[in-house]
Amino acid sequence: MPDDHYRIELTPPDLAPYAAGNTGIPYVTTFDSRRPGPHVLVNALTHGNEICGAIVLDRLFRAALQPVAGKLTLSFANVEAYQRFDPANPTASRFVDEDFNRLWDCETLEGDRQSAELRRARVLRPLVASADLLLDLHSMQQATAALMLAGLRDKSLALARRVGVPEIIVRDAGHSAGKRMRDYAAFDDPASPKAALLVECGQHWEQRAADVAIDTTWRFIAAAGILPREQAAAILGVPAAAQRVVSVTEAVTITGDRFEFTADYRGLEVVPRAGTVIARDGGREVRTPYDECVLIMPSRRLQRGQTAVRLGRFTS
């Protein structure tokens, strides 16, 4: 089922009250305790059609949340794309010119290329660089279990375990098409204490995605150590399912003009046998490299140069 055929259960919030912000960057607001502590960044709308993150930030603003240590910044990233959201064609607002989450390397950010997303990324770059802890809120094409993408660094895996949700943590290297915000600079440096997580909260339009996003964000903020101790303990003390880790061994990048899966894969399918053909990329067969291969986020945006699916195995 294409992602634009799901029933839209979420209402995009009005962002006008947050347009001015207080940082000099439109749609970015920082709450500063003026006490020592980490700079915690919660980012929404990396993709303009992933509205669960906007709902979370709207809730946090309405809760008048104030950190007791460090700083908390709430950022709406690709607002220009979000403002184009149309329920009749909901996926069209993913971006304006290009994927905002494939731009986060110095060569691209400092290069000559121009786009709506690059202009915004360049404005946000100092903010992202200043953050000690980042949570980037996303949603998915298919209605599958939520995923925490922790990258390859042990520090991010440790942070994901402190947050405690969602149940499945994915360790992956990202996409050949470009770097994600969660992999930018110090976040991907094992020598730096800075850490970042990207959470895929559920299918774009389902209420469950907003519920997961809200729960995950509160737990992330509590784990960051910027809430009163009693409040943080109460949030993190709510029981959650034991987490499992999928380690991605490869991302299947589309090389031809016609890519087709051999079945209607939605994500988290476990293919029992090595050598099973799961897709055809022109004349090339895509086979599982080992037994019990887990399919992570098979895409329906099947274009040359894009990631079609990631292959991994449960490691814990």
Instruction: Give the 3-state secondary structure of residue 281.
Output: strand
CA distance 170 to 187: 16
What's the pLDDT at 1? 42
Confidence (pLDDT) at 300: 86
Domains, the chain, ordered by start: 3-242 (3.40.630.10), 247-314 (2.40.50)
Question: Do 240 and 41 meet the contact criterion of CB atoms below 8 Å apart?
Answer: no
CB 177 within 8 A of CB 192: no
Predicted pLDDT of residue 11: 96
Sign of the torsion formed by the C-alpha atoms of 292, 159, 207 and 73: negative
The pLDDT value recorded for residue 174 is: 87
Q: What's the pLDDT score for residue 2?
A: 47
For residues 190 and 296, give the distance between their C-alpha atoms in angstroms, rounded to a whole number: 25
Residues of the chain with pLDDT under 50: 1-2
Which neighbouring-strand residues pair with 286?
279
Between CA 75 and CA 34 the distance in angstroms is: 19
What kind and span of H or E run contains 73? strand 71-76
- End-to-end distance of the chain based on CA atoms, in angstroms? 31
The confidence score (pLDDT) of residue 175 equals 87
The answer to whether the CB of 204 falls within 8 A of the CB of 167 is: no
The pairing of strands 270-271 and 293-296 is antiparallel
pLDDT at 6: 87
